[in-house]
Amino acid sequence: QVQLVESGGGLVQPGGSLRLSCAASGFTFSNYVMSWYRQAPGKERDLVATIASTGGRTDYADSVKGRFTISRDNAKSTVYLQMNSAKRDDTAVYYCKAASSYYMSTYWGQGTQVTVSS
């Protein structure tokens, strides 16, 4: 059974930091590109960051470049999103996604709420 379980969300003050985790099971994690998306109320789900299966390449949305860092630990089947210098516009539900063009499969987590507020 495939599972992606996000954790680490919560309330953070503007300028603060938070680290999200996404623990994967039920598939070969090291073969999948991992991404973080976010969806604010009334808006579409947007890509935040992506990391290659080996961790050798990362890409970021312009809105989070220099503030967020995506990383992965293939031994633990976990992907992380370190959020620094948080802004109110970062408030959203954050989802992790696993994708493989080779296996033609995509998996989503259930999401974790991040609220940036004083």
The structure tokens listed for 22 are 């996404």
The structure tokens listed for 55 are 């961790």
Each residue's pLDDT tens digit, 18-35:
999 999 999 999 999 999
104 CB neighbour count, 10 Å cutoff:
7
Each residue's pLDDT tens digit, 47-99:
999 999 998 899 999 999 999 999 999 999 999 999 999 999 999 999 999 99
- Where do we find the tokens 């992380």? 80
What is the spatial distance between Cα 118 and Cα 116, in angstroms, rounded to a whole number? 7
More confident residue, 103 or 118: 118
